[in-house]
Amino acid sequence: MLEIKDLHAGFEGTEIVKGISLTVNKGEIHAIMGPNGSGKSTLSKILAGHPSYEAMGGTVTFMGKDLLELSPDQRALEGIFLGFQYPVEVPGVNNAEFLRMAYNAKMARQGKEELDPLDFDDILDEKMKLVGMDPKYKDRSLNEGFSGGEKKKNEILQMAVLQPKLAILDETDSGLDIDALRVVANGVNKLVNQDNAIILITHYQRLLEYVKPHYVHVLSKGKIVKSGDKSLALDLEAQGYDWLTPIPK
């Protein structure tokens, strides 16, 4: 599904991702862990097409297409979803209306009929129940004044509405209380099936108790320094990252 080959990428000429290769197949859950500033969010934004970041080398193929050639909205319509580490607030844009716009963009792409606010409301109600969100958040402005945890839940709600093929969740578990964490994990588990895949970026073993990754990768200084199964996450929890980081020469 997703094939990253020797990807170099960064920001205003500074290389932050320094040669990453990663293959994600349908039905797989990958966890990416690693110290602060190691390039996890940068990698996720490069995949989603953030205009401030540029690919400097390597290739990314998604469902047979050259991902780096596509605009952010095209990538989303191909089935990529990024759950942001820091979701932005968009004042004046109604949350439900925003979700309907995104949903209808997907419908239009698939040649299906777009939904009017009433019909969409039914879908939205169901999804909100799924992620345990109060219907009152429908009428709020997108993320405006949401608490940290509410913003994260709203990301999961968007994922549930859009049902992407590949979801990249950047620290969606950070800042969540125990109940919310369970809800998020639940949402993630409901999303995974043989046809789609998830990349979880996280600092905590906690989430991985609910969502079982098939692979765990450790990112350090822009490189994947170790990959393993879920036991790697336990080792990291116990020992930290020091033993993995390459000793400077």
Partner 1 sequence: MKTNTVPKPSVSEVLENKDDYKYGFTTDIESDVFLKGLDENVIRAISQKKNEPPFMLEFRLKAYRKWLTMKEPAWPNVKYPPIDYQNISYYAAPKARKKLESLDEVDPEILKTFEKLGIPLEEQKRLSNVAVDAVFDSVSVATTHKKKLMEHGIIFCPISEAVQEYPELVEEYLGTVVPVGDNFFAALNSAVFTDGSFVYIPPDTVSPMELSTYFRINTEETGQFERTLIICAENSYVSYLEGCTAPRFDTNQLHAAVVELVTLDNAEIKYSTVQNWYAGDKETGKGGIYNFVTKRGKCLGKNSKISWTQVETGSAITWKYPSCILMGDNSSGEFYSVALTNGHMQADTGTKMIHIGRNTRYSIISKGISADYSSNSYRGLVKVNKSAANARNYTQCDSMLVGEKCSAHTFPYIESANSTARLEHEASTSKISEEQLFYLESRGISRENAITAVISGFCKEVFKQLPMEFAVEAQKLLTLKLEDSVG
Ligand X SMILES: Nc1ncnc2c1ncn2[C@@H]1O[C@H](COP(=O)(O)OP(=O)(O)OP(=O)(O)O)[C@@H](O)[C@H]1O
Which residues sit at the interface with partner 1, rule CB under 8 A? 48-52, 71-73, 75-77, 81-82, 84, 87-88, 90-93, 98, 101-102, 105-106, 109, 141-142, 158, 162
How far apart are CB 26 and partner 1 at their closest, in Å?
20
- Residue 213's identity, in one-letter code, is P
Q: Which does 75 bind (CB under 5 to 8 A by kind): Mg ion, partner 1, ligand X, none?
A: partner 1
User: What is the C-alpha to C-alpha distance for residues 28 and 194, in angstroms, rounded to an integer?
Assistant: 8
Determine, following the binding rule CB under 6 A, whether residue 148 of this chain makes contact with ligand X. Answer: no
How far apart are CB 48 and ligand X at their closest, in Å?
13
Determine, following the binding rule CB under 6 A, whether residue 110 of this chain makes contact with ligand X. Answer: no
Q: Taking a C-beta distance cutoff of 8 angstroms, is the pair 200, 211 a contact?
A: yes
Determine, following the binding rule CB under 6 A, whether residue 42 of this chain makes contact with ligand X. Answer: yes
Q: What is the phi/psi pair of residue 241, to 5°? A: -100, -10
Residues that bind Mg ion (CB under 5 A): 40-41, 85
- In the chain, the N- to C-terminal Cα span, in Å, equals 37
Span from 40-48, 54-62, 106-114, 159-167 in contact with ligand X (CB under 6 A) = 40-48
Give alpha helix (H) positions in the chain. Answer: 40-48, 72-78, 95-109, 117-130, 148-162, 178-191, 205-210, 231-239
Q: What is the dihedral sign for C-alpha 96, 101, 102, 103? A: positive
Residues 80-99 contacting ligand X, CB under 6 A: 85
- The nearer residue to partner 1, 58 or 72, going by C-beta atoms, is 72
How far apart are CB 130 and Mg ion at their closest, in Å?
26
Q: Which helix (H) or strand (E) holds 41?
A: helix 40-48
User: What is the C-alpha to C-alpha distance for residues 177 and 197, in angstroms, rounded to an integer?
Assistant: 25
How far apart are CB 38 and Mg ion at their closest, in Å?
9
- Residue 216: CB atoms within 10 A of its CB come to 25
- Residue 234: CB atoms within 10 A of its CB come to 12
Question: Which residues partner with 167 through β-bridges?
Answer: 81, 198
Span from 32-40, 118-126, 140-148, 179-187 in contact with ligand X (CB under 6 A) = 32-40
Site string for ligand X, 51-70 (x = CB under 6 A): -x------------------
- The nearer residue to ligand X, 36 or 110, going by C-beta atoms, is 36
- Residue 221: CB atoms within 10 A of its CB come to 16
Residues of this chain that interact with ligand X (CB under 6 A) are 11, 16, 34, 36-42, 52, 85
